[in-house]
Structure 1
Amino acid sequence: IMCASICPLIIRPLSFHFSDTLSCRFPFLFSSVFQLQEVDRPLEQQDWYHGAVPRSEVQQLLQCDGDFLVRKSQEKQGYVLSVHWDGSCKHFLIQSLNNEYRLDGESFSSIPHMIHHMLSSRQHITRKCDIELRKPVLKDKWVLEHDDVILGNIIGRGNFGEVYRGTLCCDNTLVAVKTCKENLAPEHKNKFLMEARILKQYDHPNIVKLIGVCTQKQPIYIVMELVKGGDFLSFLRLDGPSLSHKMLIRMTENVAAGMEYLERRKCIHRDLAARNCLVTEQRVVKISDFGMSRQQDDGVYSAEGSLRQIPIKWTAPEALNYGRYTTESDVWSFGVLMWEVFSMGMIPYTSMSNQQVRERVDKGYRMQAPHDCPPEVSTLMSSCWQHEPKNRPSFQTLRKASALTPNLQIILKQK
């Protein structure tokens, strides 16, 4: 009788989804077969394993009671089970002894087997709590394996570690790989990943593209498109003198277009400068280095702390004095970037210290336009340095003005 009922299902495989049909009607025969392959995969290949994801980011990922993931501990050797329950995230260090894994009850041969048991049995995960696992939160599409990327030579160094030229194994695409030093404190690793969290949301020809992140183990990687022309500042110093005003204006317009895109999305860059832009072989400029960037619903970010990491010569007075960052403070920085472009990469306020710049700018001092700078560009530059943020042009205005410098006065009046 059993064979008679099963056979019609087996001989019609094209009419039914095999696993759905059989597991639904005969779970006692087939469910373990389909789950066996997944539970036996290594931890790093489990979709609910998030590697070295920062604890602060976990709180954003887990939203409902029973949501869970496994991650690598930032503070100790080992792994952590993070679960949302009763309105907050709970974190449990997984105990490991003699290649067995447990919380406080039964031991298992692997973490995937332990998670599978907890999820399928709906037992409380420890004796002292009523928490149960309900839904795994899967790592997102941006997560890459370290083995997906081959590192080449070092092409730069940042605050968090070296930057390498790399290659994606899947299609030999050349990429730039930012690495994070393993000995950094958890809060610094979180800041390192902030750039990736910001860039995940954006797609624009004048903003450097994120390829993915490698967080499954240390060191953490951020993988980005490789922009072969290098940084904009070095480009200006090397090739700037041979470029026409038309080309320099076009490259400035590229930056304005990228910033207009960020402006619409309420993203504040906070570190806009020629050194933080990249140039393609076709001389297209892309904004990069989003490590200080913030996305704020109200368009305002209030910063606290010392000025040691702040690029004072590029930063608006209200940001230096009150820690108030807005799109308008980015506009101020854009004005300084324009000065860099038409000075062929000179240092702004060349003969002044940072302290002198702060004091004199507060008193109304503004840089003179570089030698041979077109008057239309000089006017645009000065408009970015209005003391009152509300009087500065928007990036939309700046982009239009950069594209149509002969009609600059008309455009600025329409602001």
Structure 2
Amino acid sequence: MGFGGDLKYSHDALLKLQDWELRLLETVKKFMVMRVKSDKEYASTLQNLCNQVDKESACQLDYISNVSKSWLLVVQQTEQLSKIMKTHAEDLNSGPLHRLTMMIKDKQQVKKSFVGVHQQIEAEMYKVTKTELEKLKSSYRQLIKEVNFAKEKYKEAVAKGKETEKAKDRCEKATMKLHMLHNQYVLALKGAQLHQHQYYDTTLPLLLDSLQKMQEEMIKALKGILDEYSEITSLVTEEIVNVHKEIQTSVEQIDPNSEYNDFIDTHRSSEVVEQEIEFDTSLLEENENLQANEIMWNNLTAESLQVMLKTVIEELMQTQQTLLSKEELVLELEKKIEESSKTCEKKSDIVLLLSQKQALEELKQTVQQLRCSEAKFAAQKELLEQKVQENDGKEPPPVVNYEEDARSVTSMDKKDKVSRFDTIRHSIAGIIRSPKSMLGSSSFFDVISTTEKPLAEQDWYHGAIPRIEAQELLKQQGDFLVRESHGKPGEYVLSVFSDGQRRHFIIQYADNQYRFEGTGFPTIPQLIEHHYTTKQVITKKSGVVLLNPVIKDKKWVLNHEDVTLGELLGKGNFGEVYKGTLKDKTPVAIKTCKEDLPQELKIKFLSEARILKQYDHPNIVKLIGVCTQRQPIYIVMELVPGGDFLSFLRKKKDELKTKQLVKFSLDAASGMAYLESKNCIHSSPLLMSKPLADV
């Protein structure tokens, strides 16, 4: 198989083949140029990384760290890799890329030469087999006509007997020209036949074979270029493999069990005798009636000791219950981590468990704190029970030398006693810290009723209001509200005014917990209440603290459950418009907003409600409320039973009297004047006006 034997009639295909190969070579060249650039940039990036690490390593530890030694070797080998990559990029540029550029020029010249020679032999072929033969055939036909004409003239001359010789001479000359041209045509035809055979059997195959030979030579050259490219860009060459072997060796030298031995030796703590916490007896220097480390039981403390004992017992029980649940969580998490460890396919997969292990350690710390609290409450309970049991059934003794105070106490009415008792009880509750407070919640006597409400009923939850409207509500340091995200429906956003700017935080939801970056809570109200009451920052980076909840305007807020959709009245730019009723059976018109609308259109939809909130006029359709607690958003408006005014006029135009039309005009003008006073321009005033009560 070959070009000369099989592609005699495939000239167009050959041209397309060469064009395609040239485009391919240009693509290969472009790819190599980008590879050279990429490798140089990669080498430069690696070098910059190494330089940066060198600067950051200026502050060295004062002990030997195996991790730092291994890391230093990793950096050194990375720098070596940078040099190798840079050298490869330069070799690629001066070698394969340079030769490919030369080859493309040669390829273009081969095509140009082939096209030129082919056009030349094709033109010669056409001239010999077409042009010259057609010219001879045309002359042939003309001479035949002339011979036939001369013969007719000769016959006429013989018949008349006039000028016979002259006519005969003309006939012979014409016949001679015809015969000579005939011979010329026969010779030319023979030459054309031979030329045609020569063209298809020798000349064209020779050209095509020559082209194939050059094509194959260039394929061979391209193969060599790509082979060199593959060799230069290979990432498994000996020098690169050695770099990574060095890195792997340095990593294997890291031993977690001995990593901190030198650090411990260097910074070993000296033994310090802890000072025992003792009762400060100096407090008793001016009072002889109080005794160190002794619970005082008398007529002033008897009742409070009972309350204190009850409180301590409750705190102890609650702490023990919390401790039990936390210990169960520890066991569950340990089991979960153990099971997850078995499924780790790679050594690095252990990273995926670090967050769980950290959570486990934090949980263990919490358990330890609870155990400490349990021991503290148990000890306090023992002291109190011992004192109460010692004096069970006895009359509390009066405090010596406090007769005046005793009389003052006995003269107090019952209401004052209750008030004083409450004061003592709350003081005790403040002294005895609840385990909940250790976990970031309120004390034992605090009742956070707001967290029991669902999110939609929280005063600071504003539903699906736009970001712009939320920002307008935030005016002072610490102002905050929660809203549904418009960009990501189903997610919730905390918007806060802090340090002169509005900040927006996505409330994260994972593992059935809501959080920002710290402790998680099962509900958003509990999360917000935690940050609001403890003043814990939302994120460490932002430093934002919640100070003032922005209360939603309940005048305009409606729940979706307060509205019942009825018949479809029509369709608007944002969604459908329905007739509906409120809970009190008030008929209303309800505009709905499609959930899949772009963010900017949802903002425009709600902007209509924001504008209507400002208006109160008998000839302007009134806003009743907005349902933004969830999707889809509703705008609830006063229902105009007769439909829009323009349609009413068109429908009733033949029935209306002049007096009615004048009244309509006055009402419309009144409504428009009111809008103008509010600096509002509406493109369809008839649709905004409400001239008739029954329209």
Q: What is the TM-score when the length of structure 2 is the normalising length?
A: 0.37
- Displacement of 1:229 in angstroms is 1.1
- The equivalent residue for 2:560 is 146
SS in structure 2 at match of 1:127: coil
SS in structure 2 at match of 1:242: coil
Q: For the residues of structure 2 that align with 1:180 and 1:213, how far apart are their CA atoms?
A: 11
- Cα distance change on mapping 1:134 and 1:107 into 2, 3 Å: same
Counterpart of 2:475 (choices 42, 49, 63) is 63
Query: For 1:17-56, what aligned pairs fall within 5 Å after superposition?
Result: 28=430, 35-56=447-468
- The equivalent residue for 2:118 is none
Q: For the residues of structure 1 that align with 2:450 and 2:429, how far apart are their CA atoms?
A: 17
- The equivalent residue for 1:187 is 600
Letter in 2 for 1:91: H
Q: For the residues of structure 1 that align with 2:429 and 2:566, how far apart are their CA atoms?
A: 50
- Displacement of 1:282 in angstroms is 3.5
SS in structure 2 at match of 1:208: coil
Measured against aligned partners, the alpha-carbon deviations of 1:29-56 in whole angstroms (never above 9, x if no partner) come to 9987674321111111111111111011
CA contact (8 A) 1:229 1:279 kept: no
Q: For the residues of structure 2 that align with 1:22 and 1:55, how far apart are their CA atoms?
A: 48
Q: For the residues of structure 2 that align with 1:22 and 1:250, how far apart are their CA atoms?
A: 74
CA contact (8 A) 1:69 1:81 kept: yes
Counterpart of 2:617 (choices 182, 191, 204) is 204
Counterpart of 1:8 (choices 415, 420, 433) is 415
Residue 120 of structure 1 pairs with residue 533 of structure 2: yes
Letter in 1 for 2:538: I
Q: For the residues of structure 2 that align with 1:165 and 1:10, how far apart are their CA atoms?
A: 62
Residue 101 of structure 1 pairs with residue 508 of structure 2: no
Counterpart of 1:163 (choices 571, 577, 580) is 577
- The equivalent residue for 1:272 is 684
- Displacement of 1:280 in angstroms is 4.5
For the pair shown, the structure with the greater C-alpha radius of gyration is 2
Query: For 1:67-82, what aligned pairs fall within 5 Å after superposition?
Result: 67-76=479-488, 77-82=490-495
Residue 231 of structure 1 pairs with residue 231 of structure 2: no
Letter in 2 for 1:98: D
CA contact (8 A) 1:62 1:68 kept: yes
- The equivalent residue for 1:173 is 586
- Matched residues, number: 274
- The equivalent residue for 1:220 is 633
CA contact (8 A) 1:206 1:254 kept: yes
- The equivalent residue for 1:406 is none
- Cα distance change on mapping 1:186 and 1:6 into 2, 3 Å: farther
Unaligned runs of 5+ in 1: 13-18, 284-415
CA contact (8 A) 2:667 2:690 kept: no
- Cα distance change on mapping 1:94 and 1:9 into 2, 3 Å: farther
Measured against aligned partners, the alpha-carbon deviations of 1:125-183 in whole angstroms (never above 9, x if no partner) come to 112121100011011121111111011111121110111111111x1101000001111
Letter in 1 for 2:581: T
- Displacement of 1:270 in angstroms is 2.7
Q: For the residues of structure 2 that align with 1:174 and 1:26, how far apart are their CA atoms?
A: 57
More divergent stretch after superposition (35-44 vs 128-137): 35-44
Percent of pairs with identical residues? 51
SS in structure 2 at match of 1:234: helix
- Displacement of 1:9 in angstroms is 6.9
Letter in 2 for 1:222: I
CA contact (8 A) 1:229 1:281 kept: no
Q: For the residues of structure 2 that align with 1:278 and 1:187, how far apart are their CA atoms?
A: 29
Query: For 1:248-287, what aligned pairs fall within 5 Å after superposition?
Result: 248-266=661-679, 268-278=680-690, 280-283=692-695
Q: Which runs of 4+ in 1 moved over 6 A?
A: 3-7, 9-12, 21-27, 29-34
SS in structure 2 at match of 1:101: strand
CA contact (8 A) 1:163 1:176 kept: yes
- Displacement of 1:7 in angstroms is 6.6
Q: For the residues of structure 1 that align with 2:608 and 2:560, how far apart are their CA atoms?
A: 19
Letter in 1 for 2:575: G
- Cα distance change on mapping 1:256 and 1:278 into 2, 3 Å: closer
Higher relative strand content: 1
Q: For the residues of structure 2 that align with 1:277 and 1:131, how far apart are their CA atoms?
A: 47
Q: For the residues of structure 2 that align with 1:277 and 1:197, how far apart are their CA atoms?
A: 18
Q: For the residues of structure 2 that align with 1:116 and 1:191, how far apart are their CA atoms?
A: 32
Query: For 1:386-397, what aligned pairs fall within 5 Å after superposition?
Result: none
- Displacement of 1:25 in angstroms is 8.5
Measured against aligned partners, the alpha-carbon deviations of 1:111-134 in whole angstroms (never above 9, x if no partner) come to 111111100111111121211000
- Cα distance change on mapping 1:247 and 1:35 into 2, 3 Å: farther
Q: For the residues of structure 2 that align with 1:149 and 1:23, how far apart are their CA atoms?
A: 48
Q: For the residues of structure 2 that align with 1:128 and 1:104, how far apart are their CA atoms?
A: 10
- The equivalent residue for 2:261 is none
Q: For the residues of structure 2 that align with 1:205 and 1:245, how far apart are their CA atoms?
A: 22
